[in-house]
Amino acid sequence: MCPPEHFGVLYEINPWMHREVKADPDRAREQWDGLVAMLVRAGAEVELQSPAEGLPDLVFTANAGIVNGTQFVPARFRHPERQGETPHDVAWFAGHGFAVAELPDGVSHEGAGDALPFGGVLVSGYRFRSDAASHAYLSRLTGAAVRSVELADERLYHLDITFCPLDERRAIVAPSGWDSYGQRVMKALVPEPLELSEEEALSFCANSVVVGSTVIMPTCPPRVGRQLEAWGFDVEVCDVSEFLKAGGGCRCLTLALDVSL
Ligand code: ARG
């Protein structure tokens, strides 16, 4: 995770960002501290990256890249506004003993924001931020089988706003965010889906972090909470409203390091 010292809504690269709706720095810091505390209470260990001036979205570490054991594949950001983050991410991972393997120039991929392992494959979203062409390279670099899913709703512009793996069989899914073929692919992949309505999905409730049996969520519609609890999960809602102004929730603010594809 990366502290929000330099976080703000300074440009508009997704439909949620409006420069005139500013983030409050003190509230952002409190909410981010609250998320760290919640993650630690649930049993996670949190490693920190230094914030950097002029890179307000560096807090959204999910987009830094893809972690595969001791390998790190840095993102290739679609928008120039975020491209300056990559040297910081690469320096952190190289400094922590990871082998850095780069995607070729000219294809976009926004890291774990658009790629989540489930059911023996790496599910990867494409269209708004990541190119479908990146998936073959990702597969070649990591050795993982990549299952491509086309994102269909600009408001749900990253895969991690439409898909939250819970355990081996279960996941929160937002089919309204996928094209009709992507919906079929995901139906075949997830044995026990918790399907969100479009309205539920737009609340960002799929952008949640799972630590053991705790699900840490930016919002939780009552029906979703009841199903998660019936499945034995503990639901914790963490107010990250300042970050939602930039189009990011709990999951976007974290990058899991204990991932092997
Ligand atoms: N403002 C950031 C952007 O538009 C938010 C990133 C959200 N990250 C995510 N993994 N969904 O790039």
The count of C-alpha atoms lying within 13 angstroms of the C-alpha of 137, restricted to the half-sphere facing its C-beta, is 20
Q: Quick check: 71 and 142 in contact, CB under 8 A?
A: yes
Residue 238 is predicted with a pLDDT of 98
147 lines ligand 1 (CB under 6 A): no
Strand order in the sheet with 214-217: 209-211, 214-217, 234-237
Q: Quick check: 246 and 56 in contact, CB under 8 A?
A: yes
The residue annotated as part of the active site, out of 158, 205, 220, 238, is 158
Residue 64 is predicted with a pLDDT of 98
Residue 15 is predicted with a pLDDT of 98
Ligand 1 nearest atom to the CA of residue 248, by list position: 7
Burial class of residue 173, CB neighbours in 10 A (0-12, 13-18, 19+): buried
Please indicate whether residue 79 is annotated as part of the active site. Answer: no
Residue 51 is predicted with a pLDDT of 98
Coil/strand/helix, residue 84 = coil
Please indicate whether residue 252 is annotated as part of the active site. Answer: yes
Among 247, 205, 233, 188, residue whose Cα is nearest residue 62: 247
14 lines ligand 1 (CB under 6 A): yes
pLDDT tens, the chain, 261 aa long: 999 999 999 999 999 999 999 999 999 999 999 999 999 999 999 999 999 999 999 999 999 999 999 999 999 999 999 999 999 999 999 999 999 999 999 999 999 999 999 999 999 999 999 999 999 999 999 999 999 999 999 999 999 999 999 999 999 999 999 999 999 999 999 999 999 999 999 999 999 999 999 999 999 999 999 999 999 999 999 999 999 999 999 999 999 999 999
Is this structure's pTM higher than 0.85?
Answer: yes
218 lines ligand 1 (CB under 6 A): no
Most ligand 1 atoms within 8 A of CB, residue of 2, 35, 63 to mutate: 63
Residue 158 is predicted with a pLDDT of 98
Residue 155 is predicted with a pLDDT of 98
Cα of 159 vs centre of ligand 1, distance in Å, is: 11
242 lines ligand 1 (CB under 6 A): no
Residue 2 is predicted with a pLDDT of 99
Cα of 230 vs centre of ligand 1, distance in Å, is: 31
Ligand 1 nearest atom to the CA of residue 13, by list position: 4
Copy the structure tokens of residue 250: 């709990």
Question: Phi/psi of residue 211, each to 5°?
Answer: -120, 105
Cα of 17 vs centre of ligand 1, distance in Å, is: 10
Residue 84 is predicted with a pLDDT of 98
Residue 4 is predicted with a pLDDT of 98
H-helix segments, the chain: 25-41, 80-83, 85-95, 134-142, 180-189, 198-202, 222-230, 241-244
CB atoms within 10 A of CB 33: 12
